[in-house]
Chain A
Amino acid sequence: MLENNRNREKSIKEVIKMKNILICMVLVVTVFCATSAWAAASQTVTVNATVPTMTGGLSVTVSKVTGTVWTTASTISFGTLTWDNVNKIFLPASYYAVDVGVTDNSGTVWTLTHTRVSLQKDATNNLNGKVNVSFNKQTSSSVGTLLAKYSYTNSQNIAYTKTQLSGGWLRIYYGIGTGQAGQDATGVTPIGMDTPAGTYTGSVTITLTP
Protein backbone atom coordinates (compact mmCIF):
# COMPACT_ATOMS: atom_id res chain seq x y z
CA MET A 1 0.00 0.00 0.00
CA LEU A 2 2.76 2.37 1.05
CA GLU A 3 4.72 1.28 -1.99
CA ASN A 4 1.73 2.02 -4.28
CA ASN A 5 1.30 5.50 -2.82
CA ARG A 6 5.01 6.20 -3.28
CA ASN A 7 4.81 5.10 -6.91
CA ARG A 8 1.73 7.24 -7.57
CA GLU A 9 3.46 10.31 -6.05
CA LYS A 10 6.51 9.61 -8.15
CA SER A 11 4.49 9.35 -11.37
CA ILE A 12 2.55 12.55 -10.51
CA LYS A 13 5.89 14.31 -9.97
CA GLU A 14 7.16 13.04 -13.32
CA VAL A 15 4.00 14.20 -15.05
CA ILE A 16 4.41 17.65 -13.49
CA LYS A 17 8.07 17.67 -14.48
CA MET A 18 7.16 16.76 -18.09
CA LYS A 19 4.47 19.44 -18.08
CA ASN A 20 7.03 22.04 -16.98
CA ILE A 21 9.48 20.93 -19.67
CA LEU A 22 6.73 21.18 -22.27
CA ILE A 23 5.72 24.64 -21.06
CA CYS A 24 9.36 25.74 -21.23
CA MET A 25 9.69 24.36 -24.79
CA VAL A 26 6.51 26.10 -25.92
CA LEU A 27 7.75 29.33 -24.34
CA VAL A 28 11.14 29.05 -26.08
CA VAL A 29 9.48 28.39 -29.44
CA THR A 30 7.02 31.23 -28.91
CA VAL A 31 9.79 33.66 -27.96
CA PHE A 32 11.90 32.50 -30.91
CA CYS A 33 9.02 32.93 -33.37
CA ALA A 34 8.10 36.28 -31.90
CA THR A 35 11.71 37.45 -32.15
CA SER A 36 11.99 36.21 -35.72
CA ALA A 37 8.75 37.84 -36.72
CA TRP A 38 9.83 41.09 -35.10
CA ALA A 39 13.25 40.85 -36.77
CA ALA A 40 11.67 40.13 -40.14
CA ALA A 41 9.40 43.06 -39.77
CA SER A 42 12.01 45.62 -38.90
CA GLN A 43 15.48 44.53 -39.94
CA THR A 44 16.99 45.36 -43.31
CA VAL A 45 19.66 43.05 -44.57
CA THR A 46 21.79 44.36 -47.39
CA VAL A 47 22.66 41.71 -49.92
CA ASN A 48 25.63 42.26 -52.17
CA ALA A 49 26.88 40.12 -55.02
CA THR A 50 29.66 40.90 -57.41
CA VAL A 51 29.56 39.06 -60.68
CA PRO A 52 33.09 38.96 -62.09
CA THR A 53 33.75 39.55 -65.75
CA MET A 54 34.41 36.22 -67.43
CA THR A 55 35.68 36.44 -70.95
CA GLY A 56 37.36 34.06 -73.32
CA GLY A 57 35.56 31.02 -71.93
CA LEU A 58 35.98 28.52 -74.72
CA SER A 59 34.72 24.98 -74.34
CA VAL A 60 35.59 22.36 -76.95
CA THR A 61 34.49 18.72 -77.22
CA VAL A 62 35.83 16.36 -79.86
CA SER A 63 33.62 13.34 -80.61
CA LYS A 64 34.37 10.32 -82.74
CA VAL A 65 31.25 9.12 -84.53
CA THR A 66 31.12 5.50 -85.63
CA GLY A 67 27.71 4.66 -87.04
CA THR A 68 25.43 6.11 -84.40
CA VAL A 69 27.88 5.75 -81.52
CA TRP A 70 29.56 8.93 -80.25
CA THR A 71 32.68 8.66 -78.11
CA THR A 72 34.84 11.44 -76.70
CA ALA A 73 38.22 11.95 -78.36
CA SER A 74 41.07 14.43 -78.14
CA THR A 75 42.18 14.35 -81.79
CA ILE A 76 40.59 13.82 -85.18
CA SER A 77 42.16 10.48 -85.94
CA PHE A 78 40.78 8.78 -89.04
CA GLY A 79 43.34 6.03 -88.46
CA THR A 80 44.27 3.58 -91.21
CA LEU A 81 41.80 3.89 -94.07
CA THR A 82 40.28 0.71 -95.49
CA TRP A 83 39.67 -0.12 -99.13
CA ASP A 84 35.99 -0.06 -100.17
CA ASN A 85 35.91 -2.69 -102.88
CA VAL A 86 32.49 -1.59 -104.14
CA ASN A 87 33.23 2.11 -104.63
CA LYS A 88 36.96 1.63 -105.18
CA ILE A 89 37.93 4.25 -102.62
CA PHE A 90 39.62 4.39 -99.22
CA LEU A 91 37.34 5.20 -96.28
CA PRO A 92 37.71 5.52 -92.51
CA ALA A 93 35.44 3.82 -89.98
CA SER A 94 34.45 7.11 -88.37
CA TYR A 95 33.89 10.80 -88.83
CA TYR A 96 34.36 13.50 -86.19
CA ALA A 97 32.32 16.29 -84.61
CA VAL A 98 33.87 19.19 -82.73
CA ASP A 99 31.47 21.17 -80.52
CA VAL A 100 32.59 24.69 -79.68
CA GLY A 101 30.83 26.71 -76.99
CA VAL A 102 31.63 30.20 -75.72
CA THR A 103 31.03 31.48 -72.19
CA ASP A 104 31.33 35.24 -71.93
CA ASN A 105 29.47 37.80 -69.82
CA SER A 106 31.53 40.83 -70.90
CA GLY A 107 29.19 41.83 -73.72
CA THR A 108 32.03 41.33 -76.19
CA VAL A 109 30.99 40.68 -79.77
CA TRP A 110 33.23 37.60 -80.06
CA THR A 111 34.19 35.68 -83.18
CA LEU A 112 35.15 32.03 -83.61
CA THR A 113 37.58 31.36 -86.42
CA HIS A 114 38.61 28.02 -87.93
CA THR A 115 42.09 27.77 -89.41
CA ARG A 116 43.96 24.70 -90.61
CA VAL A 117 47.43 23.45 -91.37
CA SER A 118 47.80 21.25 -94.46
CA LEU A 119 46.87 17.58 -93.96
CA GLN A 120 49.93 16.22 -95.67
CA LYS A 121 52.37 13.38 -96.02
CA ASP A 122 55.12 15.52 -97.49
CA ALA A 123 55.54 18.75 -99.42
CA THR A 124 53.78 17.42 -102.53
CA ASN A 125 51.17 14.96 -101.24
CA ASN A 126 48.20 16.07 -99.16
CA LEU A 127 44.55 15.21 -98.44
CA ASN A 128 43.35 18.82 -98.34
CA GLY A 129 40.91 18.21 -101.19
CA LYS A 130 39.75 14.85 -99.78
CA VAL A 131 38.20 16.00 -96.50
CA ASN A 132 34.83 17.70 -95.88
CA VAL A 133 34.55 20.35 -93.19
CA SER A 134 30.97 21.24 -92.35
CA PHE A 135 29.99 24.15 -90.06
CA ASN A 136 26.67 23.90 -88.22
CA LYS A 137 24.74 25.88 -85.65
CA GLN A 138 23.41 23.47 -83.03
CA THR A 139 20.43 24.37 -80.89
CA SER A 140 20.46 20.98 -79.16
CA SER A 141 22.75 17.96 -79.36
CA SER A 142 20.61 16.53 -82.16
CA VAL A 143 19.16 19.63 -83.85
CA GLY A 144 21.41 21.76 -86.03
CA THR A 145 21.40 23.98 -89.09
CA LEU A 146 24.05 23.74 -91.77
CA LEU A 147 25.90 27.05 -92.04
CA ALA A 148 28.39 26.08 -94.74
CA LYS A 149 30.34 23.10 -96.06
CA TYR A 150 33.90 23.42 -97.39
CA SER A 151 36.75 21.27 -98.49
CA TYR A 152 39.59 21.14 -95.96
CA THR A 153 41.52 23.29 -98.45
CA ASN A 154 38.91 26.05 -98.25
CA SER A 155 38.26 25.81 -94.51
CA GLN A 156 40.94 28.38 -93.77
CA ASN A 157 39.80 31.50 -91.87
CA ILE A 158 36.13 30.54 -91.67
CA ALA A 159 34.63 32.80 -89.02
CA TYR A 160 31.30 32.95 -87.17
CA THR A 161 30.24 35.73 -84.83
CA LYS A 162 28.28 35.74 -81.61
CA THR A 163 25.28 37.08 -83.54
CA GLN A 164 25.41 34.28 -86.11
CA LEU A 165 25.57 31.63 -83.38
CA SER A 166 23.04 33.30 -81.08
CA GLY A 167 20.86 30.74 -79.32
CA GLY A 168 23.15 27.84 -80.16
CA TRP A 169 26.72 26.71 -80.54
CA LEU A 170 29.10 25.81 -83.33
CA ARG A 171 29.56 22.18 -84.36
CA ILE A 172 32.16 21.32 -86.99
CA TYR A 173 32.08 17.93 -88.72
CA TYR A 174 35.19 16.44 -90.35
CA GLY A 175 34.80 13.55 -92.74
CA ILE A 176 36.71 11.93 -95.61
CA GLY A 177 35.10 12.40 -99.04
CA THR A 178 32.70 9.61 -100.01
CA GLY A 179 32.11 10.46 -103.66
CA GLN A 180 28.34 10.23 -103.13
CA ALA A 181 26.31 12.81 -105.05
CA GLY A 182 25.34 15.79 -102.93
CA GLN A 183 27.29 14.57 -99.90
CA ASP A 184 30.69 16.11 -100.43
CA ALA A 185 31.60 19.80 -100.38
CA THR A 186 32.56 21.52 -103.61
CA GLY A 187 36.07 20.48 -104.60
CA VAL A 188 36.16 17.33 -102.44
CA THR A 189 36.98 14.04 -104.12
CA PRO A 190 37.34 10.61 -102.49
CA ILE A 191 40.70 8.98 -101.77
CA GLY A 192 41.52 6.56 -104.54
CA MET A 193 44.50 4.47 -105.53
CA ASP A 194 46.07 7.63 -106.99
CA THR A 195 46.69 8.87 -103.45
CA PRO A 196 50.10 7.61 -102.31
CA ALA A 197 50.18 5.42 -99.19
CA GLY A 198 51.59 7.03 -96.09
CA THR A 199 50.75 8.91 -92.92
CA TYR A 200 48.99 12.22 -93.44
CA THR A 201 48.98 14.66 -90.52
CA GLY A 202 47.81 18.20 -89.99
CA SER A 203 46.09 20.36 -87.42
CA VAL A 204 43.13 22.63 -86.97
CA THR A 205 42.97 25.62 -84.67
CA ILE A 206 39.80 27.09 -83.20
CA THR A 207 40.36 30.71 -82.22
CA LEU A 208 38.14 32.85 -80.01
CA THR A 209 38.70 36.57 -80.42
CA PRO A 210 36.89 39.61 -79.09
Chain B
Amino acid sequence: MFAAIRFIVIYFCFMGSFFVSIAQADKLPFMNQSKIRVVAAPGDRVFGEITLDNPTEESKNMRLYLEDWYYLPGGAGGKEFLPAGSTPASACPWISFSPAEVTLPAFGKQRISYSVDVPSDATGTHFASLFFETSLGKDSLPDSGRSAGLDVNVRVATLFYIEVKGKAARSAEVDNLNIQPSKDEKGALDITLDFENTGNTDITTSGSFSLMNNDGVVSARGAFNNVYTFPGGKGSLLGTWKDRIPAGVYDLVITIDLGKALTDAGMGRGPVITKEASVTIGENNKIVQVGKLH
Protein backbone atom coordinates (compact mmCIF):
# COMPACT_ATOMS: atom_id res chain seq x y z
CA MET B 1 0.00 0.00 0.00
CA PHE B 2 2.76 2.38 1.05
CA ALA B 3 4.77 1.37 -1.99
CA ALA B 4 1.83 2.19 -4.25
CA ILE B 5 1.32 5.59 -2.62
CA ARG B 6 5.03 6.31 -2.86
CA PHE B 7 5.00 5.35 -6.55
CA ILE B 8 2.04 7.66 -7.23
CA VAL B 9 3.66 10.56 -5.36
CA ILE B 10 6.98 10.08 -7.20
CA TYR B 11 5.14 9.76 -10.53
CA PHE B 12 3.23 13.01 -10.05
CA CYS B 13 6.34 14.82 -8.78
CA PHE B 14 8.22 13.65 -11.87
CA MET B 15 5.41 14.62 -14.23
CA GLY B 16 5.02 17.92 -12.41
CA SER B 17 8.70 18.76 -12.81
CA PHE B 18 8.48 17.78 -16.50
CA PHE B 19 5.59 20.15 -17.12
CA VAL B 20 7.22 22.92 -15.10
CA SER B 21 10.41 22.65 -17.16
CA ILE B 22 8.41 22.71 -20.39
CA ALA B 23 6.34 25.64 -19.20
CA GLN B 24 9.44 27.64 -18.33
CA ALA B 25 10.80 27.50 -21.88
CA ASP B 26 10.20 30.65 -23.91
CA LYS B 27 8.57 29.43 -27.11
CA LEU B 28 8.49 31.55 -30.22
CA PRO B 29 5.45 31.48 -32.48
CA PHE B 30 5.41 29.03 -35.36
CA MET B 31 5.25 30.33 -38.91
CA ASN B 32 3.68 28.57 -41.86
CA GLN B 33 6.49 29.31 -44.33
CA SER B 34 10.23 29.35 -43.74
CA LYS B 35 11.20 29.79 -47.42
CA ILE B 36 9.33 31.84 -49.98
CA ARG B 37 10.33 31.51 -53.62
CA VAL B 38 8.66 33.98 -55.95
CA VAL B 39 9.01 33.88 -59.74
CA ALA B 40 7.86 37.22 -61.16
CA ALA B 41 8.42 39.11 -64.39
CA PRO B 42 10.24 42.47 -64.42
CA GLY B 43 7.80 45.20 -63.38
CA ASP B 44 5.43 42.73 -61.66
CA ARG B 45 4.05 43.10 -58.14
CA VAL B 46 3.38 39.93 -56.13
CA PHE B 47 1.43 39.68 -52.87
CA GLY B 48 1.54 37.05 -50.15
CA GLU B 49 0.99 36.27 -46.49
CA ILE B 50 2.86 34.58 -43.68
CA THR B 51 0.89 33.32 -40.70
CA LEU B 52 2.32 33.35 -37.20
CA ASP B 53 0.80 30.99 -34.66
CA ASN B 54 1.39 31.46 -30.93
CA PRO B 55 1.19 28.03 -29.25
CA THR B 56 1.63 29.40 -25.73
CA GLU B 57 -0.65 30.90 -23.11
CA GLU B 58 1.44 34.08 -23.02
CA SER B 59 1.20 36.93 -25.49
CA LYS B 60 4.33 37.52 -27.58
CA ASN B 61 5.76 40.79 -28.80
CA MET B 62 7.80 40.52 -31.97
CA ARG B 63 9.73 42.96 -34.12
CA LEU B 64 9.91 42.31 -37.86
CA TYR B 65 12.73 43.49 -40.09
CA LEU B 66 14.52 42.62 -43.30
CA GLU B 67 18.17 41.70 -43.78
CA ASP B 68 20.33 40.44 -46.63
CA TRP B 69 21.76 36.95 -46.59
CA TYR B 70 24.08 34.77 -48.60
CA TYR B 71 25.48 31.24 -48.52
CA LEU B 72 28.87 31.03 -46.87
CA PRO B 73 31.75 29.71 -49.03
CA GLY B 74 32.07 25.92 -49.22
CA GLY B 75 28.50 25.15 -50.26
CA ALA B 76 27.50 23.42 -46.98
CA GLY B 77 24.44 25.64 -46.60
CA GLY B 78 25.72 27.92 -43.83
CA LYS B 79 24.41 31.47 -44.10
CA GLU B 80 25.51 34.90 -43.10
CA PHE B 81 23.11 37.76 -42.50
CA LEU B 82 23.96 41.36 -43.29
CA PRO B 83 22.14 44.67 -42.99
CA ALA B 84 19.42 45.24 -45.57
CA GLY B 85 20.65 46.50 -48.90
CA SER B 86 24.31 45.71 -48.34
CA THR B 87 24.73 43.06 -51.05
CA PRO B 88 24.31 43.46 -54.84
CA ALA B 89 21.68 40.68 -54.89
CA SER B 90 19.59 42.20 -52.10
CA ALA B 91 15.82 41.94 -52.53
CA CYS B 92 15.18 44.07 -49.43
CA PRO B 93 14.36 47.23 -51.41
CA TRP B 94 11.76 45.22 -53.37
CA ILE B 95 9.84 43.91 -50.33
CA SER B 96 7.24 45.70 -48.22
CA PHE B 97 5.49 44.08 -45.27
CA SER B 98 3.01 44.94 -42.57
CA PRO B 99 2.82 45.13 -39.61
CA ALA B 100 6.41 45.79 -38.46
CA GLU B 101 5.60 44.95 -34.84
CA VAL B 102 3.12 42.40 -33.60
CA THR B 103 1.67 41.36 -30.29
CA LEU B 104 0.37 37.86 -30.63
CA PRO B 105 -2.25 37.05 -27.98
CA ALA B 106 -2.16 33.73 -26.13
CA PHE B 107 -2.92 30.92 -28.60
CA GLY B 108 -3.54 33.63 -31.22
CA LYS B 109 -2.64 33.99 -34.87
CA GLN B 110 -1.33 36.93 -36.86
CA ARG B 111 -1.09 37.35 -40.60
CA ILE B 112 1.85 39.26 -42.03
CA SER B 113 1.14 40.68 -45.47
CA TYR B 114 3.96 41.27 -47.88
CA SER B 115 4.36 42.52 -51.40
CA VAL B 116 7.29 42.19 -53.79
CA ASP B 117 7.87 44.83 -56.47
CA VAL B 118 10.26 43.56 -59.12
CA PRO B 119 11.99 46.45 -60.91
CA SER B 120 11.57 46.55 -64.67
CA ASP B 121 15.31 46.20 -65.26
CA ALA B 122 15.88 43.36 -62.79
CA THR B 123 17.76 40.17 -63.70
CA GLY B 124 18.75 36.95 -61.95
CA THR B 125 17.55 36.08 -58.46
CA HIS B 126 17.56 38.42 -55.47
CA PHE B 127 17.45 37.45 -51.80
CA ALA B 128 16.23 38.73 -48.45
CA SER B 129 15.41 37.44 -45.00
CA LEU B 130 12.44 38.58 -42.95
CA PHE B 131 13.25 38.21 -39.26
CA PHE B 132 10.78 37.79 -36.41
CA GLU B 133 12.64 38.77 -33.27
CA THR B 134 11.79 38.89 -29.60
CA SER B 135 13.82 39.69 -26.49
CA LEU B 136 13.62 37.35 -23.52
CA GLY B 137 14.26 40.20 -21.09
CA LYS B 138 16.28 43.30 -20.36
CA ASP B 139 19.02 43.18 -17.78
CA SER B 140 19.22 45.92 -15.15
CA LEU B 141 22.65 45.80 -13.56
CA PRO B 142 23.76 47.48 -10.35
CA ASP B 143 25.84 50.57 -11.00
CA SER B 144 28.63 49.62 -8.61
CA GLY B 145 31.96 47.78 -8.82
CA ARG B 146 32.40 45.54 -11.81
CA SER B 147 29.10 44.16 -13.10
CA ALA B 148 28.32 42.34 -16.33
CA GLY B 149 25.23 41.08 -18.11
CA LEU B 150 23.94 39.95 -21.48
CA ASP B 151 20.46 40.29 -22.92
CA VAL B 152 19.19 37.31 -24.88
CA ASN B 153 17.36 37.85 -28.17
CA VAL B 154 15.86 35.09 -30.25
CA ARG B 155 14.75 35.31 -33.84
CA VAL B 156 13.50 33.13 -36.65
CA ALA B 157 13.77 33.85 -40.34
CA THR B 158 11.75 33.43 -43.47
CA LEU B 159 14.04 33.44 -46.49
CA PHE B 160 12.94 35.13 -49.71
CA TYR B 161 14.21 34.07 -53.15
CA ILE B 162 12.88 36.45 -55.81
CA GLU B 163 13.56 34.98 -59.23
CA VAL B 164 13.08 37.31 -62.18
CA LYS B 165 11.02 35.43 -64.73
CA GLY B 166 12.89 34.83 -67.98
CA LYS B 167 16.04 36.50 -66.65
CA ALA B 168 17.41 33.81 -64.33
CA ALA B 169 19.99 31.37 -65.70
CA ARG B 170 20.64 28.14 -63.82
CA SER B 171 24.04 26.79 -64.96
CA ALA B 172 27.10 25.22 -63.35
CA GLU B 173 30.49 23.65 -63.96
CA VAL B 174 31.44 20.27 -62.50
CA ASP B 175 35.12 19.34 -62.68
CA ASN B 176 38.18 17.80 -60.98
CA LEU B 177 36.90 14.28 -60.48
CA ASN B 178 38.86 12.44 -57.83
CA ILE B 179 38.38 8.92 -56.44
CA GLN B 180 40.40 7.90 -53.43
CA PRO B 181 40.24 5.85 -50.22
CA SER B 182 37.89 7.47 -47.70
CA LYS B 183 39.48 9.51 -44.93
CA ASP B 184 36.65 8.60 -42.57
CA GLU B 185 36.01 4.93 -43.27
CA LYS B 186 38.49 2.14 -43.91
CA GLY B 187 37.95 0.30 -47.19
CA ALA B 188 35.46 2.87 -48.50
CA LEU B 189 35.96 5.06 -51.57
CA ASP B 190 35.33 8.81 -51.71
CA ILE B 191 34.24 10.31 -55.03
CA THR B 192 34.76 14.08 -55.06
CA LEU B 193 34.08 16.83 -57.60
CA ASP B 194 34.39 20.58 -57.64
CA PHE B 195 31.19 22.48 -58.27
CA GLU B 196 30.84 26.09 -59.42
CA ASN B 197 27.64 28.05 -59.93
CA THR B 198 28.14 29.87 -63.23
CA GLY B 199 24.59 31.23 -63.51
CA ASN B 200 22.89 34.26 -61.98
CA THR B 201 20.60 32.47 -59.53
CA ASP B 202 20.93 30.30 -56.43
CA ILE B 203 21.49 26.59 -56.96
CA THR B 204 20.91 23.74 -54.56
CA THR B 205 22.20 20.50 -56.03
CA SER B 206 21.16 16.93 -55.52
CA GLY B 207 23.42 14.43 -57.22
CA SER B 208 24.11 10.74 -57.64
CA PHE B 209 26.73 8.42 -59.12
CA SER B 210 26.62 4.97 -60.72
CA LEU B 211 29.54 2.72 -61.51
CA MET B 212 28.68 0.38 -64.37
CA ASN B 213 30.69 -2.57 -65.66
CA ASN B 214 31.14 -3.51 -69.33
CA ASP B 215 27.86 -5.42 -69.30
CA GLY B 216 25.98 -2.30 -68.21
CA VAL B 217 25.34 -3.72 -64.74
CA VAL B 218 25.54 -1.22 -61.88
CA SER B 219 28.23 -2.29 -59.39
CA ALA B 220 28.06 0.75 -57.13
CA ARG B 221 25.51 3.51 -56.69
CA GLY B 222 25.22 6.38 -54.25
CA ALA B 223 24.29 9.99 -53.60
CA PHE B 224 26.33 13.16 -53.35
CA ASN B 225 25.89 15.73 -50.61
CA ASN B 226 23.78 18.78 -51.42
CA VAL B 227 25.70 21.91 -52.36
CA TYR B 228 24.17 25.35 -51.75
CA THR B 229 25.52 28.27 -53.78
CA PHE B 230 24.79 31.78 -54.89
CA PRO B 231 25.98 33.00 -58.33
CA GLY B 232 29.76 32.51 -58.52
CA GLY B 233 29.74 30.26 -55.45
CA LYS B 234 31.80 27.09 -55.25
CA GLY B 235 31.47 23.85 -53.32
CA SER B 236 32.58 20.23 -53.15
CA LEU B 237 30.47 17.24 -54.07
CA LEU B 238 31.25 14.12 -52.05
CA GLY B 239 29.86 10.63 -52.55
CA THR B 240 31.02 7.54 -50.64
CA TRP B 241 30.92 3.86 -51.60
CA LYS B 242 31.52 1.50 -48.67
CA ASP B 243 31.48 -1.97 -50.25
CA ARG B 244 34.09 -3.92 -52.22
CA ILE B 245 33.98 -3.52 -56.02
CA PRO B 246 35.32 -6.38 -58.20
CA ALA B 247 38.49 -5.45 -60.11
CA GLY B 248 37.79 -4.22 -63.63
CA VAL B 249 37.09 -1.30 -65.92
CA TYR B 250 33.97 0.71 -65.17
CA ASP B 251 32.01 3.61 -66.56
CA LEU B 252 31.26 6.20 -63.87
CA VAL B 253 28.06 8.17 -64.56
CA ILE B 254 27.49 11.31 -62.52
CA THR B 255 24.16 13.14 -62.47
CA ILE B 256 23.79 16.56 -60.82
CA ASP B 257 20.31 18.09 -60.59
CA LEU B 258 20.59 21.90 -60.43
CA GLY B 259 16.90 22.37 -59.66
CA LYS B 260 16.49 20.94 -56.16
CA ALA B 261 15.46 24.34 -54.79
CA LEU B 262 12.74 24.58 -57.44
CA THR B 263 11.53 21.04 -56.77
CA ASP B 264 11.46 21.67 -53.00
CA ALA B 265 9.38 24.79 -53.61
CA GLY B 266 7.00 22.84 -55.85
CA MET B 267 7.91 25.04 -58.83
CA GLY B 268 8.98 22.44 -61.35
CA ARG B 269 12.41 21.16 -62.22
CA GLY B 270 15.76 22.58 -63.18
CA PRO B 271 18.48 21.50 -65.60
CA VAL B 272 20.47 18.31 -64.98
CA ILE B 273 24.18 17.88 -65.66
CA THR B 274 25.34 14.39 -66.66
CA LYS B 275 29.05 13.52 -66.80
CA GLU B 276 30.91 10.30 -67.47
CA ALA B 277 34.42 8.99 -66.90
CA SER B 278 36.21 5.67 -67.26
CA VAL B 279 37.50 4.20 -64.01
CA THR B 280 39.81 1.19 -63.58
CA ILE B 281 39.65 -0.53 -60.20
CA GLY B 282 42.15 -3.12 -58.99
CA GLU B 283 42.03 -5.61 -56.14
CA ASN B 284 40.77 -4.35 -52.73
CA ASN B 285 39.14 -1.23 -54.22
CA LYS B 286 42.51 0.11 -55.36
CA ILE B 287 42.03 2.89 -57.89
CA VAL B 288 44.29 2.15 -60.86
CA GLN B 289 43.17 4.87 -63.22
CA VAL B 290 40.53 7.61 -63.43
CA GLY B 291 39.75 8.88 -66.93
CA LYS B 292 38.84 12.38 -68.00
CA LEU B 293 35.36 13.65 -67.13
CA HIS B 294 33.27 14.33 -70.24
Question: Are these two chains actual partners, yes or no?
Answer: yes
Contact assessment for A80 and B155 in the assembled complex, using a CB-CB cutoff below 8 Å: no
Contact assessment for B77 and A109 in the assembled complex, using a CB-CB cutoff below 8 Å: yes
Whether, in the assembled complex, B28 has its beta carbon less than 8 Å from a beta carbon of chain A, the answer is: yes
Among the stretches B136-144, B164-172, B184-192, the one at the interface with A is B136-144
Whether, in the assembled complex, B122 has its beta carbon less than 8 Å from a beta carbon of chain A, the answer is: no
Q: Which residue of B lies closest to A127 (CB)?
A: B148
Chain B interface extent, by class: 35 or more
- Please name 11 further chain A to chain B contacts, defined as beta carbons within 8 Å, in addition to the given A57-B55, A58-B27, sorted by A numbering: A52-B32, A55-B33, A61-B25, A74-B152, A111-B77, A200-B149, A201-B141, A203-B152, A204-B150, A206-B154, A208-B154
C-alpha spacing A198/B158, complex, angstroms: 39
Nearest CB of chain A from residue B102's CB, rounded to whole Å: 14
Contact assessment for A201 and B154 in the assembled complex, using a CB-CB cutoff below 8 Å: no
In the complex, chain B residues 156-188 whose Cβ is within 8 Å of any chain A Cβ: 156-159
Q: Which residue of B lies closest to A191 (CB)?
A: B146
With a cutoff of 8 Å between Cβ atoms, the chain B residues found around residue A207 in the complex are 81, 131, 154-157
Could you pull out 19 A-B pairs where Cβ atoms are within 8 angstroms?
A: A56-B30, A58-B28, A58-B154, A60-B28, A61-B24, A72-B24, A75-B152, A78-B147, A80-B145, A80-B146, A92-B148, A131-B148, A200-B148, A201-B148, A202-B150, A203-B153, A206-B155, A207-B81, A210-B35
Whether, in the assembled complex, A53 has its beta carbon less than 8 Å from a beta carbon of chain B, the answer is: yes
Out of A77, A80, A92, A197, name the residue touching B139 (CB < 8 Å). Answer: A77
With a cutoff of 8 Å between Cβ atoms, the chain A residues found around residue B143 in the complex are 199
Contact assessment for B147 and A199 in the assembled complex, using a CB-CB cutoff below 8 Å: yes
C-alpha spacing A92/B147, complex, angstroms: 9
Whether, in the assembled complex, A4 has its beta carbon less than 8 Å from a beta carbon of chain B, the answer is: no
Closest 6 CB pairs of A and B: A74-B137, A210-B34, A56-B156, A76-B150, A75-B139, A203-B151
With a cutoff of 8 Å between Cβ atoms, the chain B residues found around residue A127 in the complex are 148
CB within 8 Å for A78 and B148 given contacts A199-B141, A205-B155, A209-B79: yes
Whether, in the assembled complex, A101 has its beta carbon less than 8 Å from a beta carbon of chain B, the answer is: yes
Whether, in the assembled complex, B78 has its beta carbon less than 8 Å from a beta carbon of chain A, the answer is: yes
Contact assessment for A75 and B138 in the assembled complex, using a CB-CB cutoff below 8 Å: yes
Out of B25, B142, B158, name the residue touching A80 (CB < 8 Å). Answer: B142
With a cutoff of 8 Å between Cβ atoms, the chain B residues found around residue A203 in the complex are 150-153
CB within 8 Å for A206 and B32 given contacts A59-B26, A161-B77, A195-B146: no
C-alpha spacing A80/B139, complex, angstroms: 13
With a cutoff of 8 Å between Cβ atoms, the chain B residues found around residue A73 in the complex are 137
With a cutoff of 8 Å between Cβ atoms, the chain A residues found around residue B133 in the complex are 205
- The chain B residues found within 8 Å of chain A, CB to CB, are 21, 24-35, 53, 55, 69, 77-81, 129, 131-133, 136-139, 141-159
Contact assessment for B77 and A76 in the assembled complex, using a CB-CB cutoff below 8 Å: no
Q: Which residue of B lies closest to A92 (CB)?
A: B148
Nearest CB of chain B from residue A30's CB, rounded to whole Å: 39
Contact assessment for B159 and A206 in the assembled complex, using a CB-CB cutoff below 8 Å: no
Contact assessment for A108 and B146 in the assembled complex, using a CB-CB cutoff below 8 Å: no
In the complex, chain A residues 162-210 whose Cβ is within 8 Å of any chain B Cβ: 174, 176, 191, 195, 197-210
Q: Which residue of B lies closest to A104 (CB)?
A: B34
Nearest CB of chain B from residue A107's CB, rounded to whole Å: 9
Nearest CB of chain B from residue A33's CB, rounded to whole Å: 35
Q: Which residue of B lies closest to A52 (CB)?
A: B32
C-alpha spacing A81/B141, complex, angstroms: 11
C-alpha spacing A97/B72, complex, angstroms: 28
C-alpha spacing A52/B51, complex, angstroms: 12
Contact assessment for B31 and A60 in the assembled complex, using a CB-CB cutoff below 8 Å: no
With a cutoff of 8 Å between Cβ atoms, the chain A residues found around residue B142 in the complex are 79-80, 199
C-alpha spacing A141/B24, complex, angstroms: 14
Which of B33, B155, B159 lies at the interface centre, i.e. has the most chain A CB atoms within 10 A of its CB? B155
With a cutoff of 8 Å between Cβ atoms, the chain B residues found around residue A61 in the complex are 21, 24-26
Out of A74, A106, A208, name the residue touching B136 (CB < 8 Å). Answer: A74
Whether, in the assembled complex, A54 has its beta carbon less than 8 Å from a beta carbon of chain B, the answer is: yes
Contact assessment for A75 and B137 in the assembled complex, using a CB-CB cutoff below 8 Å: yes
Q: Which residue of A lies closest to B138 (CB)?
A: A75
Nearest CB of chain B from residue A82's CB, rounded to whole Å: 8
C-alpha spacing A106/B156, complex, angstroms: 15
Q: Which residue of B lies closest to A208 (CB)?
A: B156
Q: Which residue of B lies closest to A206 (CB)?
A: B154
With a cutoff of 8 Å between Cβ atoms, the chain B residues found around residue A198 in the complex are 146-147
